[in-house]
Amino acid sequence: MKPLTRHQIAWRAAQDLEEGTYVNLGLGLPTLIANYKPKDRDFMFHSENGIVGVGPLASEAEADSDFVDAGSQKITLIPGASISDSAMAFAMIRGGHVDVTLLGGFEVSETGDLANWDAKMTHKGQLVGGAMDLVAGAKSVRVTMQHTTKEGAPRLVEKCGYPLTGVGVVDRVYTDLAVVDVAKGGFIVREILEGLSREELQKRTGARLRFADGCGVLKAPELPGK
C-alpha cells in the first residue's frame, strides 16, 4: 500500500473535470491540478482577482507583475481569456457561473461542512480570502487533502473542530487514500487505495463510511514531485 502523493491527488482530481467547464483552483495542493489537465478536454481556470482563462506560470522572460493569479504568482493567459474587476469575479462565483471549485481542507464533516481557513495559529494573523464565497457559490465544491493529519488524526470527521468555511457545502473529497462523496446520510467511498482494506480506511476516518456499490480502486500514474 502506497498512499498517493500530493501530485497524484491532484492528478486524480483533474480526471473528473469535464469538457467546457469553468474551474477555480484554491491555493496549495489544488494549484497542482492545472498541471494534470487531461489533454482531450478544454476548460477555463477562473481566478478570484478577475481572470477567466489562467494559463501556465510565466517563464522568467514572460513574467510581468501586472499579470498575477489568486496566489500572487506571475502567470500567462490562454486564448479566450478575459479580465474583469474583483466585484465581477465574485459575481461569477456567487452567481453560480463557476462550475467547480477545488480547495484545500483541514477537515470535512459527514454533512459536508468544510474547515479550511483558520488554523488558529498563535503567532500569525488570519486569512480568509475567497474561500467562503467559493463554497457558497460554485456549483460543485471538491476538496483535496491528506486523509489524516501528520499525527494520524482523521480529517474526515463527524463534526469539524476548526472554524468553518461553509456549512453543508462539500460534494467530494480526494485524499491520499480514497475518493469520498458527501451524500445524504454521510460519507460514501467511491474509490479506495489499492491494497488498503475497508477496515483500515475506516480506522483512519472519524465518521462512519459507507462503500458505494462497485466501489473502485484508487490509483494514479507515477508522477514526479512529492
Residues that bind other proteins (CB under 8 A): 48-51, 64-74, 83-87, 89-90, 93-94, 113, 122-133, 136-137, 163-167
Q: In which residue are the cell numbers 473529497 written?
A: 173
Nearer to other proteins, 51 or 156 (CB): 51
Closest to other proteins by CB, 33 or 160? 160
Cα 161-163-70 angle, rounded to 5 deg: 130
* Length of the chain in terms of residues written: 226
Cα 13 to Cα 80, 97, 141: the distances in Å are 24, 20, 12
Q: How far apart are the first and last CA of the chain?
A: 16
The total of other beta-carbon atoms located within 10 Å of residue 136's CB is 15
19, 48, 60, 107: which is the annotated catalytic residue?
48
Q: In whole angstroms, what is the distance from residue 212 CA to residue 208 CA?
A: 13
Residue (86 or 149) nearer to other proteins, CB: 86
Q: How near is the Cβ of 187 to other proteins at its closest, in Å?
A: 20
- Least separation, in Å, of the C-beta of 31 and other proteins? 13
Q: Which is nearer to other proteins, 33 or 93 (CB)?
A: 93
Shortest approach of other proteins to residue 94 CB, angstroms?
6
Closest CB 117 distance from other proteins, rounded Å: 8
- Number of other CB atoms surrounding residue 25 within 10 Å: 27
To the query of whether residue 48 is one of the catalytic residues in this protein, the response is yes
User: What is the radius of gyration, based on Cα positions, of the chain?
Assistant: 17
| Catalytic positions, written as ranges | 48
